[in-house]
Amino acid sequence: MGNFALTVVLLQKFAEMAAKYIPHWEIIDYAHSDKKDAPSGTARELANRLSNIQEAKPEVPLDRIDGLKESRGARLQGTQVHSIRLPGYVISIDAIFGMPDQKLILRHESGTSAEPYVNGALLAIREVGKLVGVHRGLDSVMKF
């Protein structure tokens, strides 16, 4: 199931655009300490979408790292993904793209209410009647 927060869907689309031009990126997935899944479904979905563009190219290949390779996160569908689970966080995700002397950080932050997901679900409900066939995700009813 896809994430129905409008800002997550936009982050995913913007990240797909960036991955066409910037071959170096990583994902950081933040959540509260009771969240059991790591990485989150949103981080997994983002890594999957980016894998359809290309694999991220780390500046230092993982097999050339000195020290604990696990400190670089997990390789998920060609993307390094880091999951942080700590008290004080709600849910956030960063897609960080880097090039020499510049970086692009795309960030989604959600609060404690269900409102972001309700707004996306209502948009889907309003627009789904215009679709033919099977579609997955909120982005199938958003106009880009």
Partners of 110 in the β-ladder: 91
Question: Largest alpha-carbon pair distance within the chain?
Answer: 54
Q: What is the pTM of this model?
A: 0.89
Please return the burial class of 8, using the count of CB atoms within 10 Å of its CB with bins 0-12, 13-18 and 19+. Answer: buried
Q: Which two structure tokens, joined as six digits, stand for 135?
A: 């579609």
What's the pLDDT score for residue 2?
Answer: 65
What's the pLDDT score for residue 137?
Answer: 76
What's the pLDDT score for residue 45?
Answer: 95
Partners of 25 in the β-ladder: 97
pLDDT in tens, the chain (144 residues): 568 889 999 999 999 999 999 999 999 999 999 999 999 999 999 999 999 999 999 888 888 889 998 899 999 999 999 999 999 998 999 999 999 999 999 999 988 888 888 888 888 888 888 878 887 778 777 777
Rg (CA), the chain: 16
- pLDDT tens digits, one per residue of 84-122: 999 999 899 999 999 999 999 999 998 888 888 888 888
* Residue 55 near residue 80, CB atoms below 8 Å: no
- 101: three-class secondary structure by DSSP: coil
Domains of the chain and CATH, by start: 6-138 (3.30.360.10)
How far is it, in rounded angstroms, from Cα 24 to Cα 66?
20
What residue type is 38 in one-letter code? A
How far is it, in rounded angstroms, from Cα 15 to Cα 49?
9
